[in-house]
Structure 1
Amino acid sequence: MSEFAAVDVIRAKRDGHVLSDAQIDWVLDAYTKGVVADEQMSALAMAILLRGMTPGEIARWTAAMIASGERLDLSAVPRPTVDKHSTGGVGDKITLPLTPLVAACGAAVPQLSGRGLGHTGGTLDKLESIPGWRAKLSNDEFVRQLSDVGAVICAAGEGLAPADRKLYALRDVTGTVEAIPLIASSIMSKKIAEGTGALILDVKVGTGAFMKDENDARELARTMVELGKAHGVKTVALLTDMNTPLGLAVGNAIEVAESLEVLAGGGPSDVVALTVALAREMLDAAGIDADPAKVLESGAAMDTWRAMIRAQGGDPDAPLPGARETEVLRATEDGVVGSLDALGIGLAAWRLGAGRARKEDPVSFGAGVLLKKRPGDAVRAGDVLLELRTDDESRIPAALADAQRAVTISQGVPTHGRLLIDRIA
């Protein structure tokens, strides 16, 4: 007979009490084993959303999720390990050029990534547009590639934080995704279990981000930084803007193509700036003295990219998928692009088939939105503002409506927010 009952733990949090270490350990272990039912964990998640958790509760909750599965041992990797996690946004392909860049500078980057849901894209979906590339690696393959190439981007194994996998799926359908203690512990349990020595967090804030409010984003960043430190992982967070999409490409294959432009020494200035800023943080955390901007110019990061793609079965020279149908949105008046709402552009890409509504939905690799103008650009009536791409022309009208709402033309010069908002360490 257990010393605990799920209903007592639910009532305790519902009434605003602090859960004990023993209660937290028990409820997560029992939920992972199926002893605590989904409806009971749903009630507890809602109580946590409404009542919050103390730093001590969040730290213990995270530790219990890590303890629910295995912890990777990266001690055999000869280089210092450092990872990066983004809370997700529109056009956020930064992981693609960043991982090989930091590896080319001498670090090992164990990047466990996910798939997209809704208007935010998933790194694995983008990479799967490369013919032959595979997301699933065994632990042995993961460690071997990290040692040989210095860079891995793959799906998290089934054994890492299984409590989080169950809870994540539940939060998605119970209106509890926004609970900061549950977001922080979900992200950090997987990253700590992955075994990295240091971690840089890119916490997005703005219309296209999960966190719309800067204060909420700051709280999430601080919570995750403290969790990392408590588990012996050097952790730093950057707060970055997500009111406007990153770069010009929003989709899967077209974001890979834009990442290749960056690795070749070109690409949009905001993507390059954020890639280099995050690389500097990662190298500093790993104790490596290198200039990522110079390494990017040298072509070494492109060489590492090609080795990384080949190591996972992909053909770095294969043509990327295209789309059968295209449509353009034109300016209806002269002026200046005032704003380009990230959420609206993300929704347009999703409607075109670049994203999914449910985890089991397929994505169209060639679908997406290609921006032709950015905020601050002068336009004349008739100029192309953006291009919609899809394999299904019936998707175009709804996507076009989202895109039209996302773009504003003004007569004055728009004010731009900073790409890098703050650093939290």
Structure 2
Amino acid sequence: MDARAIIAHLRRGEDPSREELAWFAQGLADGRVSDAQAGAFAMGVCLRGLGEEARVALTLAMRDSGDTMSWSCDGPVLDKHSTGGVGDCVSIVLAPALAACGAYVPMISGRGLGHTGGTLDKMEAIPGLRTSVSEAEFKTVVHEAGCAIVSASGEIAPADKRLYAIRDVTATVESLDLITASILSKKLAAGLEGLVLDVKVGTGAFMKSADEARALAQSLVGTANLAGCPTSAVISDMNRPLAPSLGNALEIADCMGVLTGETGGPLLDLTAALGGVLLANAGLAGGVDAGADAIGKAIADGRAAERFGRMVALMGGPVQFVENWRRFLPEATVIREVAAPEIGFVTAMDGEALGLAVVELGGGRQVESDVVDPSVGFSDVVTLGQKVVKGQPLLRIHAAREEAARKAEQAVLAAITLGQEAPVVPPLVHERIG
């Protein structure tokens, strides 16, 4: 095999063979492929695209470039992946709810990316909890709690880790084929028997239009199913934050509100919608609606909260976290309200701008070495379509310093638009695919 020949195929608009893609992925993992060759490969795929067969072959080759997991559980092994949004903490509620319904959920998650929050950063807001665990620890938590939310080890899909870093500096991140292979190679390496994809669309998502979101959802669903993992997708709205908070500890607080039955809203609704698809596809429910009802009942009767508490304790967090979560979560030193400048309806919310404002507060990373402050962010965020009067809080800022809070206030006022007519609020779930 020769990297130059494979790149030449792409340059001519030809798909490399399955064997060539397998060789190239292994070369990414072991260093036989240089950075220059990896960059040329990424650009070739970005410009020319891959056919369906080649996209599946690349996904499987990247999966097989490292370790793959296998499970011996007495229930189906399921997972969910989100393409990223603001106030999106569904995974933290859904994983224990699925476990309470008889599934096993080995959830390999990521950190914040751009304006979107990361599930691992949110989980690590819980004192003592470790998301970086050995494979043996990972399996123990999954078997004993029914779910675990962890970071990927260096041995999971190393070809993707290398290629992603190359894509980041060669302006090839947006390739549909490379996005598909990147997401699915890690998920398939976890040994899943079922997957649901939450593809976000709107101002707070990476995919701003319905056509972009649908194209990505179809690519992911088609590729995953051809690769042998039963998969469906839900396209959900991200024109407003899903939870009433943005920020790591604040979103954990929102999740605990749902898990303990104190609150509901869109976070609970989307959790049930995604869980319903998974349970129906896995044969644990008689249909999507029945599956959604089962998720709702597992949360309402406390079984999901019990599973979450068990997982937290096994991963090093407080043993009594569920019972005393308010005492354990860190709090910011500065909390101030942002008042509405006039009366009106919330007609638009720039989710990306709000997410970037949280990053600026220290709730995310601007460079890889940044240390995240788990206590900062926004809480009690108004909803799209809500009517407010002058002086009413649009949200509360949680900051480490007064100066940072003042800067965030200006970002908030620019990101939330008020008007005199109530807007048409998009549905939470736009469509299901697969």
Q: TM-score, normalised by structure 1?
A: 0.96
Aligned to 1:283, what secondary structure does the other structure show? helix
After TM superposition, the structure 1 = structure 2 runs for residues 132-171 of structure 1, keeping only pairs within 5 Å, are: 132-171=128-167
The answer to whether 1:87 aligns with 2:90 is no
1:338 Cα deviation (Å)? 1.3
Residue of structure 2 in register with 1:302 after alignment: 305
**Inter-partner Cα distance in structure 2 for 1:9 and 1:395:** 50
- Selected match of 1:314 from 310, 314, 317: 317
Secondary structure at the aligned position of 2:432 is classed as strand
Which of the numbers 332, 338, 342 marks the counterpart of 2:347? Answer: 338
Indicate conservation of the 8 Å contact 2:247/2:374, yes or no: yes
Deviation string for 1:54-105 (max 9, x for gaps)? 111111101110111111011x222211111111110000001111111111
Identity %: 40
The corresponding residue for 1:49 is 46
> 2-side partners of 1:243 and 1:43: how far apart?
36
The within-5 A match list for 1:5-44 is 6-44=3-41
Shift of 1:273: 0.4
User: 1:172 maps to what in 2?
Assistant: 168
1:351 is matched with 360
Q: Distance in 2 between matches of 1:265 and 1:340?
A: 28
Residue 58 (1) aligns with residue 55 (2): yes
What SS is found at the alignment partner of 1:249?
coil
CA positional deviation for 1:268? 4.3
Task: Give how far 1:26 is off.
Answer: 2.1
CA distance in 2 between partners of 1:192 and 1:372 (Å):
36
The CA distance in 1 between the partners of 2:422 and 2:212, in whole Å, is 30
| 1:206 positional shift | 1.2
Alignment check: 8 A CA contact 1:117 1:358 kept: no
Question: Structure 2 matches for 1:66-77, cutoff 5 A?
Answer: 66-74=63-71, 76-77=72-73
2:280 is aligned with 1:284: yes
Alignment match, 2:373: 364
What is the distance in 2 between the residues matched to 1:305 and 1:175? 39
In structure 2, stretches of 5+ residues that fail to align are 286-290
* Residue deviations 1:107-137 (CA, integer Å, cap 9, x gap): 1111111111221000010010101100022
DSSP-derived class of the 1:153 partner = strand
Please give the alpha-carbon distance, in whole angstroms, between the structure 1 residues aligned to 2:107 and 2:114: 22
Partner of 2:397: 388
Residue type at the aligned position of 1:10 = I
Shift of 1:397: 4.0
Residue identity matched to 1:296: I
Distance 2:152 2:169 in 1: 22
1:177-232 per-position Cα deviation (integer Å, ceiling 9, x unaligned): 11111111111111111001100110111121111122121111111112221222
TM-score (norm: length of structure 2)? 0.94
- Cα RMSD over matched residues? 1.5
Distance 1:333 1:65 in 2: 53
Taking a change above 3 Å as real, the CA distance of residues 242 and 313 of structure 1, as seen in their structure-2 partners, is: same
Give the corresponding residue for 1:96. 92
Q: 1-side partners of 2:64 and 2:22: how far apart?
A: 9
2:334 alignment partner AA: E
Structure 1, unpaired ranges of 5+: none
* Matched residue count: 421
Note if 1:264 corresponds to 2:260.
Answer: yes
CA contact 1:347–1:399 (8 Å) conserved in 2: no
Question: Which stretch of the first structure deviates more once superposed, 122-131 or 285-294?
Answer: 285-294
Q: Secondary structure at the match of 1:42?
A: helix
